[in-house]
Chains A and B, each alone.
Chain A
């Protein structure tokens, strides 16, 4: 009986607040829309949507009023390049579904299938204001396996409901530069040639599916699963996340994408600031880690703390990520954004880089990324500046669902509290 009640309670929690109307009053609202920042505003939430927002909104009778004085409301944050939902303990392979070493599935790997809404990492990240993540496949190279793509990324929400996939297959993931070279036998020139050949195979396959099914198609290096998955990439319908850092690799991949008619998103781009104008001219969005300032390899010699600021100043659409794909560290996103501000990125641009920019680039702007009348209530009320460690979340809505301010580490804390 108790278990049944608990199940009912859990289900009730996982549904948008249908009956209740919630009004957050007198808070600073960072809308990420043309309305900009509203100094003392009110947001009314009903049925999981924002019914009204602005400086002069009347609070409906019967609404639960949340005093937002001194607080800031932002859209929920989006952690790009994470493995949230696909891992419990990094070094326990059986607890992770973020990579495959299958020899017949690489580009075909669809991470949106088999994710875990009960992951204890989701509430931890949510307490850092993260309501969505771009869950992105990693590589699991093995001897004799040198497949080019790691798979297809998905946007998920962190409401911990069974239907956690906001949008599947939002992008294909490809590492070039040093990693790409290694998979092609050790040289960039081989990697680029191999990639061109793959795209040619995919286009040939798309034109001759029937012959392929009769066993009469030309020999293909990739499995049918992988070829099928790559068709929308080759046709420019699915964006290709390209992980590169060296300035020359960035320029090469922009030119390659132009020649092949691909839509690309750069990921990493630690030397991006050196070729910012070229990236801006190509209208290629960039995912950067604002803390990455180490010359970790010969591809990151020019890594610099002001990479994000310089890319933004050049007109590039910047998305910030932190933790280098390590899901347990997803919660550091807002601090990373704060550091980007300390190194020259305007504060509003830093918030955009973890809200509306990734929402637009990954096609989920109708679910998250901004505060607008009629839009999904995907937002966080903070006790102060959301990028400051000293601020804490006071209220979290994930796509209209109010989520509790709890997580397993807090349970541990309370069990051992003095």
Chain B
């Protein structure tokens, strides 16, 4: 028995390591420019979760259903699905299954724990435009919060630079797999994001240094100047390419490269913006320069302009509970996301926090309960989309994750109870069909390198 357990432990370790280090065989990722993803899921036996209530992320709730996972993909989902031979059966009776949770706003790795000054790598707060920095170059993969988030069912997260700057830099989409390198976590093929910040933070940071921007109108002038310069840069490259690429190309500029990527529609704008009036201004700026805003983040006042946001096809990533820290968040309400949803918009519950990322299911439940109390009538099937399908859309990866539809990546959570209950815990988590969390198996609780050998690690977190 002891030998078998030890052997099993090595298998799990190998699988985790293989997944993290890209040791397993598999197709090489598409050319992704510098710092390409090295994440390759390990081979895993097919799995059948049988008898659970499944929230598919498409809006459906299917009782007593079966989910088949094979070759890292969702193979089948529904009632009466037969389990072929050779599948590892997981008893889902009395339990719930959802797509893996996707956090559309996180600073894991760039503001890790412990929060020592040496770890504060999320804000390059030296100039209002630092579009040239990339969050992935600040991510510390040993941040213990990655594992805690995994135990909360989070399988994908968008890690962003902070909000000190008008243009904070590029965000990065990560699969929440254990890895020694950040490249080993990068979501293969996921588009980059650009963090833009409205309102109080940039004007406070730079106004406090006696320089622009120190007002909201200063913020807007800063955005527009940057887009004018970026459009000029893009035109130079277009001209060089249209001329056949002969002669010396224009000199690359990291800052303009990112902004030009937005103008070309290749990089998605993730816009920290609280107030309704400021969001409306940002929409007009996007129109002026011909780009799209993928999502407004925090957006405490989004409910005031819900039809506009729905019409513009801009997602809203927000909280249920957080409000009142600043003037621009004073009007936050619990029903913000459900009111966006009711208007036909793309509603997202995000964390922006190392504690909340462990309980996004509960935060969505709080919003759902408040909405139903107010007569909006939100189903569980609908509410689960706020932390699965809709963040997938905002991150530009909805064709690969966010729902349990055949062919999608098998990012799956098995919950001990109704996931909107405060008592529900993630019992199992699969990422690309590979088991990445089992609450009953202490080997999955292996702490990050930082915590290894430290005091007080002998019990679960």
Interface stretch, picked from B3-11, B93-101, B264-272, B415-423, is B415-423
User: Given that A90-B325, A412-B331 are contacting pairs, would A342 and B422 also be in contact in the complex, using a CB cutoff of 8 Å?
Assistant: yes
Q: How far is the CB of B449 from chain A (nearest CB, A)?
A: 13
CB of B324 within 8 A of CB of A304, answer no
Q: How far is the CB of B226 from chain A (nearest CB, A)?
A: 27
Mask, A269-309, CB within 8 Å of B = 1, is: 00101100000000000000001111111101111111000
Given contacts A91-B327, A417-B339, 11 further A-B contacts (CB under 8 A): A89-B324, A89-B327, A291-B359, A293-B148, A295-B454, A297-B116, A304-B456, A305-B461, A339-B422, A389-B420, A410-B333
Closest to B451 in A: A295
Shortest Cβ gap from B162 to chain A (Å): 16
Kindly state whether residue A329 has any CB partner on chain B within 8 Å: yes
Residue B369 at the A interface, CB < 8 A?
yes
How many of chain A's residues touch chain B, expressed as a range? 35 or more
Is B421 a contact partner of A418 (Cβ separation < 8 A)? no
Q: Separation in Å of the B320 CB from the closest CB of chain A?
A: 9
Can you list 8 A-B pairs with a CB-CB distance of less than 8 A? A121-B324, A294-B355, A295-B113, A295-B451, A329-B322, A410-B333, A413-B333, A418-B342
- A4 part of interface (Cβ distance < 8 Å): no
List the A side residues contacting B303 at CB < 8 Å.
Answer: 413, 416
Complex partner residue of B325 from A91, A301, A306, CB under 8 angstroms:
A91
Cβ-based interface call for B218 (8 A): no
* Distance in angstroms between the alpha carbons of A391 and B460 in the assembled complex: 29
User: Complex: how many Å from CA A409 to CA B370?
Assistant: 11
**What residues of B have a CB within 8 angstroms of the CB of A121 in the complex?**
324
Instruction: Please give me the 10 A-B residue pairs with the lowest Cβ-Cβ distance, nearest first.
Output: A302-B456, A338-B422, A328-B324, A409-B333, A389-B366, A90-B325, A389-B365, A342-B423, A293-B461, A390-B369
Complex contacts, A304 vs chain B, CB 8 Å: 456, 459-461
Q: Is A373 an interface residue (CB 8 A)?
A: no
* Minimal beta-carbon separation of A202 from chain B (angstroms): 35
Q: A89-B324, A413-B335 are in contact. Are A392 and B422 (CB under 8 A)?
A: no
Q: Report yes or no: B325 in contact with A297, Cβ–Cβ below 8 A.
A: no
Cβ-defined contact, A390 with B421, below 8 A:
yes
Given contacts A342-B422, A389-B369, A392-B369, contact A296 B325 (CB under 8 A): no
Binding site for A on B (CB under 8 A): 113-116, 144-145, 148, 200, 303-304, 306, 321-327, 330-335, 339, 342-343, 354-355, 358-359, 362, 365-366, 368-369, 373-374, 420-425, 450-451, 454-457, 459-461
Chain B contacts for A301, CB-based, 8 A = 114, 451, 454-456
Q: How far is the CB of A358 from chain B (nearest CB, A)?
A: 20
Binding site for B on A (CB under 8 A): 88-92, 121, 247, 271, 273-274, 291-298, 300-306, 310, 326-329, 331-332, 335, 338-339, 341-342, 387-392, 409-410, 412-413, 416-418
Instruction: Let me know if B456 and A390 touch, CB within 8 A.
Output: no
A335-B114 contact, Cβ under 8 Å, with A301-B455, A390-B369, A418-B343: no
Chain B residue contacts of A297, Cβ below 8 A: 114-116
Chain A at the B interface: SS class = loop
Rounded to whole angstroms, the CA-CA distance of A181 and B365 in the bound complex is 41
Chain A residue with Cβ nearest B331: A412
Who on chain B is nearest to A327 by CB?
B324
| A342 surroundings in chain B (CB, below 8 A) | 422-425
Choose among A89, A387, A417 the residue that contacts B326 (Cβ–Cβ < 8 A): A89
Q: List, in ascending order, chain A residues with CB within 8 A of B455's CB.
A: 247, 271, 274, 301-302
Known: A335-B362, A389-B420, A392-B373. A92 touches B456 (CB 8 A): no
Cβ contacts under 8 Å, A328 to chain B: 322-325
Question: B64: shortest Cβ distance to chain A, in Å?
Answer: 22
Return the chain B residue nearest A391 by Cβ.
B369
A395 CB, nearest partner CB in chain B, Å: 15
The answer to whether A294 and B145 have CB atoms under 8 Å apart is yes
Interface centre among A92, A294, A306 (most CB of B within 10 A): A294
The residues of B that contact A326 with a CB separation of less than 8 Å are 325
Q: Which residues of B contact A418 (CB under 8 A)?
A: 306, 339, 342-343
A294 touching B148 by the CB < 8 A rule?
yes
| Shortest CB distance B202–A (Å) | 15
Using A273-B459, A295-B144, A298-B114 as known contacts, say yes or no to A89 and B339 having CB atoms under 8 A apart. Answer: no
